[in-house]
Structure 1
């Protein structure tokens, strides 16, 4: 139980810290704005330096493909369209439960607008209990809970593609604008830490699913709310670098220490863009250069920031969407309409989450069904551990 009386004594120190941090943040923002304006005037030169010294720059920085001060109004989408989204949730394995197993639940949503068609809102559960499912990842030093999350990411992409392709097949020759959305980034940073064999079990199914969307000409989009990304700010570090060349490997090999070009840290891209964009506008289109994207073959990730009215959202798309101007503009329009319908967050993604989430009652019913099946199979002494039983009730 949380002792609020004791907690209240610490609040004064926290409020003082936040006040000091807010003042420091304003100073960083003013400095970043000055560098931003300077970078606008020498953008081509900075991009050339970036390309020339790419192998010697140790921090993640993106490449602007349009003028840095770009502000483009997002077009109004057509009234007739379809939006598809998936999201996942899980029940993690526990040795204290009646059986050591885990469950993945993928929420599915298809919303049709202006078509007089019923939406799809459901979920696909899948239980994993075989030893090869539970302990397979241990040989790579990956915990089952972590591996379960990686598999869930691949399942979300696969199910999303299946939904999108089925919708297109049902329509036949009828052309209806369609958008496939996922919650979060399309850049899967966790892949960097995985052994090659483990990575080959996660990434190929994702890229294969994206390729099917590409063949079907259905744009894919990742919606990142409250983004903490600094790839855009890191591009400005090329201008803030005090050395004649941005050779981090020679001058600043330890990026975890305080280095001269980190004059804005920890300022985020969204903070700077909030001073530039108006509601309904997108900023400059960027190409991400993070090293993990070398594994994405010809499906590199591009991104831009959009003022959706309630926040500055980071929007990520594969290269084949960004390079098709008509498709990209249409996808942005459909995304913004989703945010407006969802009162600040895309309604399709929110509903996919609601379909996927496993609540306390669902978890209880899941293990109750499992218990009945185990007893029916003749298994005796079925029950949770004493620790789990005591945690669920108190004698105090």
Structure 2
């Protein structure tokens, strides 16, 4: 039980710390604004430097593909359109349960606006129980619980492509996913494991491209600093940004670290008005070398009213003016309908989430099936059974 009296004594220290952090963040924003003013006349030159020296730099900086001082208005739409999304949840495996298996549940939602059509709200469960599926990740020293999360990501992408194949009509459409389209977790995985995860995801994106339904990854409260890292080229005291030669020590002590740890969203909150987006950027994350050329990830920051959201999209969306406008307009429309967060992502989460009662019913069904099959001594471990009750 949480002791609120003891906790209350710590609140004053937290509030004082947050006040100091807010003042420091404002100073970092002022530095970044000054660098933005300085870099504007040299934007093309800095892009060339980044292209030439990116493999020698100690940080990842995105490429601006539009003028840095030109915010663009995004207009929500009231016209007829369709939006689709998927999200996933799971029941993790446990040796204390009646059987060692796990469940992936993918919520699927399709909403039609201005078309007098019924929405689709359902979920697609999948139980993984065969040893060859449960323990395949052991060969790469990946825990089953982690592998389950990666498989959920694949299932979400495949389900989204299947929804897109079923969309009919000539109205504009949008496919939204919650989170980044850059799967950073792949960086720490062996190549053989990545080959089991990334190809089916990229294949699902190709199916979306064929339907001409733009794909957007919506990031709320993004912690990325990839765009602001481009400004560090302006603050570099050396003629050539060769970090490996000039600054071989800890990266946080480099002379270009003049506004760290400022986030992109904190900076663009001071530059954008509600309904505006930042310039478009192309990510230079090393992981993207495994993506196809037309699936390179572009992104921008949009002031959606309640926050600054990061919107990511593949190159085939970002380089097509019609699809880009359609993606941004429908994304902002979804945020407004959801009062600060895309309504379809919230609904997809609600369809996917596995609550306590669902978990209980899942294991009850499993127990009935095991008894029907003639198995004996079916039940949870004594530890699990004891934790579910209390003598207090």
Query: Is TM-score (shorter-chain normalized) higher than 0.5?
Result: yes
Which of 158, 181, 184 aligns to 1:186? It is 181
CA contact (8 A) 1:89 1:357 kept: yes
State the 1:246 CA deviation.
0.7
**Segments ≥4 residues shifted beyond 6 Å:** none
Which of 361, 369, 372 aligns to 2:368? It is 372
State the 1:332 CA deviation.
0.7
CA displacement, residues 354-374 of structure 1 (integer Å, 9 cap, x when unaligned): 000001111111111111111
Which of 290, 297, 302 aligns to 1:295? It is 290
Q: What are the equivalent positions in structure 2 for 1:234-245 lying under 5 Å apart?
A: 234-245=229-240
In structure 2, the residue matched to 1:61 is 61
CA contact (8 A) 1:77 1:330 kept: no
Which of 195, 201, 212 aligns to 1:200? It is 195
CA displacement, residues 276-311 of structure 1 (integer Å, 9 cap, x when unaligned): 111111110000000000000211000000001111
CA displacement, residues 158-185 of structure 1 (integer Å, 9 cap, x when unaligned): 1000000111xxx3xx421111110000
In structure 2, the residue matched to 1:20 is 20
In structure 2, the residue matched to 1:386 is 382
Q: Secondary structure at the match of 2:227?
A: helix
In structure 2, the residue matched to 1:109 is 109
How far apart are the structure 1 equivalents of 2:387 and 2:233? Answer: 54
CA contact (8 A) 1:59 1:255 kept: no
Q: Which runs of 5+ in 1 are unaligned?
A: none
Mapped pair 1:138 → 2:138: yes
In structure 1, the residue matched to 2:224 is 229
CA displacement, residues 124-154 of structure 1 (integer Å, 9 cap, x when unaligned): 0000011111111011000001101111111
CA contact (8 A) 2:75 2:332 kept: no
State the 1:219 CA deviation.
0.6
Cα 1:380–1:256 shift into 2, 3 Å: farther
In structure 1, the residue matched to 2:147 is 147
In structure 2, the residue matched to 1:306 is 302
In structure 1, the residue matched to 2:97 is 97
How far apart are the structure 2 equivalents of 1:255 and 1:235? Answer: 19
How far apart are the structure 2 equivalents of 1:194 and 1:97? Answer: 29
State the 1:75 CA deviation.
3.0
Q: Secondary structure at the match of 1:147?
A: helix
TM-score (norm 2): 0.97
Residues matched between the structures, number: 391
State the 1:254 CA deviation.
4.3
In structure 2, the residue matched to 1:35 is 35
Greater displacement, 119-128 / 37-46: 37-46
Q: Secondary structure at the match of 2:300?
A: strand
TM-score (norm 1): 0.97
Which of 232, 256, 262 aligns to 1:261? It is 256
In structure 2, the residue matched to 1:248 is 243
CA displacement, residues 329-366 of structure 1 (integer Å, 9 cap, x when unaligned): 01111111100111111111110000000011111111
Mapped pair 1:271 → 2:266: yes
State the 1:35 CA deviation.
1.0
How far apart are the structure 2 equivalents of 1:256 and 1:378? Answer: 62
State the 1:9 CA deviation.
2.0
How far apart are the structure 2 equivalents of 1:52 and 1:347? Answer: 42
Mapped pair 1:345 → 2:352: no
State the 1:41 CA deviation.
2.4
